[in-house]
Structure 1
Amino acid sequence: MSEVLSASSDVAFTPAVKAIQTRKGSRDGYAQVERHGGWRSAVDDQLAHFLAAQTSFFLATASADGQPYMQHRGGPAGFIHVLDPHTLAFADYSGNRQYITQGNLSENPKAHIFVMDYVHRRRIKIWGEARVVEDDAALLQTLMPQGYKARPEQVIVFTIKAWDSNCPQHIPQKFDAADVAAALAARDARIAELEAALAAAQPISTAQPASGESGAVAP
């Protein structure tokens, strides 16, 4: 059974964490956030828009004895679905068949989603609980990205407890190769267009010297 949190950020700010915050001088600032309820706990338009644009994220779980594990999940933009303001879901594709994530969730539902957007230098952290759904073909078909080359095996449903975003500090800006290629192609097309326009504006002169003029310069 899930514990009741006095503030949503208590999912991360345990008594041990708060004690260290007090010792290092940051507790008062976070306590002010907690007085307003803590972090956000539902999907708003900002988060929905952010998730819809992502093609990659990391899913962290832990075994019953606390051994952590993080696994990458990827797909085309839109592969992370918002089922309702508190629930995310995605098709889980067949992979190396280790099933560490599924095994962890079978004994410890606590999970964490970490999404990094390198282009805009932004990261989103989502705390919650996750479960694996193996027997809902209709849901799996709904979540499977159309035309994506992968074999869907099951569904992972994630219930949100809290989420927060970080500042861009220390995040390197990186761009997808496809986006860079598209930008370069657009640049090259524009250069070719300008070169053609310049050539058309400078016709070659065909004028001949007047009769009797040799073109030589008199001494």
Structure 2
Amino acid sequence: MAQVFLRTMFGPGSRALQTEAGSRSSYARMEAGADAADQLTARECDFIAPRDSFYMASIGESGWPYVQHRGGPAGFLRKVEGNRIGFADYRGNMQFLSVANLTADDRVALFLMDYPNRRRLKLIGHARVTDNADDIAALTVPHYPAAPERVFVIDVVGFDWNCPQHITPRFSEAEVGQRTQPFIDEITRLRMRVAELEGSKP
């Protein structure tokens, strides 16, 4: 349940608008419950495990939000223990905006997208950055050519799933290849058969 997520994110303004729209009572029921962090279940962990990218928002020293795309090999974002997730930070544009933001405010929000299946998971939590060798070793993906410089560790406070409305399906090169391979195999088989028939003609 996204109880803590909803209670944390809904303010007086959004609750007032929900009341006007007639959705407040439904959300109020969803918010009711314990004050402990929303607990990651196997469903969330199974969704997180194969992701090769996500978006992370942090709060800048100027007060402006900053959203950064994070990418890596599939599985680079993973559950560490309990309600904690983490990921290795590979060399990028050297602006250090997210790293700097977390020194002043450790709150982050993550969007994880599964475009082919039109699914989306939102996470909020408290993040820290470390270059501790043990933490880096625990979150390093074997055989990936880039070496991590540091890791982000996030204690998840809440999460919420979104409906698929307005998510446009998008597919990676590997996903397109997987879906088209049976057709390519069939075309190859038919071509070979045609060649055999042509070769058997007197």
Contact conserved, 2:5 with 2:160, CA < 8 A, in 1? no
Name the CA distance, whole Å, in 2 between partners of 1:12 and 1:107: 20
1:74 has 2:42 as partner: no
Aligned letter for 2:144? Answer: Y
Which residue of the other structure, out of 164, 186, 190, is the alignment partner of 1:190? 186
169-178 vs 188-197, greater mean Cα deviation = 188-197
Residues 203 and 99 of structure 1: CA distance in aligned 2, closer, same or farther (over 3 Å): closer
Name the CA distance, whole Å, in 1 between partners of 2:37 and 2:135: 27
Q: TM-score, normalised by structure 1?
A: 0.81
Alpha-carbon displacement from aligned partner over 1:54-75 (angstroms, at most 9, x marks no partner): 1110010002453100111111
Deviation at 1:149, TM superposition (A): 2.2
Percent identity of paired positions between Structure 1 and Structure 2: 35
Contact conserved, 1:9 with 1:39, CA < 8 A, in 2? no
Which residue of the other structure, out of 111, 128, 131, is the alignment partner of 1:131? 128
Q: TM-score, normalised by structure 2?
A: 0.88
Structure with greater helix percent: 2
Name the CA distance, whole Å, in 1 between partners of 2:54 and 2:4: 26
Name the CA distance, whole Å, in 2 between partners of 1:140 and 1:156: 9
Which residue of the other structure, out of 142, 155, 160, is the alignment partner of 2:156? 160
8-17 vs 37-46, greater mean Cα deviation = 37-46
1:105 has 2:127 as partner: no
Deviation at 1:94, TM superposition (A): 1.6
1:30 has 2:49 as partner: no
Contact conserved, 2:4 with 2:157, CA < 8 A, in 1? no
Residues 205 and 88 of structure 1: CA distance in aligned 2, closer, same or farther (over 3 Å): closer
Alpha-carbon displacement from aligned partner over 1:134-155 (angstroms, at most 9, x marks no partner): 2x11220221111212231111
Structure 2 match to 1:214: none
Alpha-carbon displacement from aligned partner over 1:64-97 (angstroms, at most 9, x marks no partner): 4531001111111110110123100011112111
Contact conserved, 1:87 with 1:160, CA < 8 A, in 2? yes
Structure 1 match to 2:136: 140
Aligned letter for 1:152? Answer: P
Matches within 5 A, 1:13-92: 13-37=10-34, 41-92=38-89
